[in-house]
Amino acid sequence: MWSDRLKEMTRDVVSDFRFVPNSDVVYFKNINSRYGYISVSDIMNRKLLLVDRESSEQKLYVSVDQLLNDGWVVD
The answer to whether the beta carbons of residues 25 and 38 sit under 8 Å apart is: yes
Residues 26-42: pLDDT tens digits? Answer: 999 999 999 999 999 99
5 burial level (CB within 10 Å; 0-12, 13-18, 19+):
exposed
pLDDT reported for residue 57: 97
Is a pLDDT exceeding 90 seen at residue 19? Answer: no
User: Looking at the predicted structure, is the pLDDT value of residue 17 above 90?
Assistant: no
| H or E segment and range at residue 44 | helix 40-44
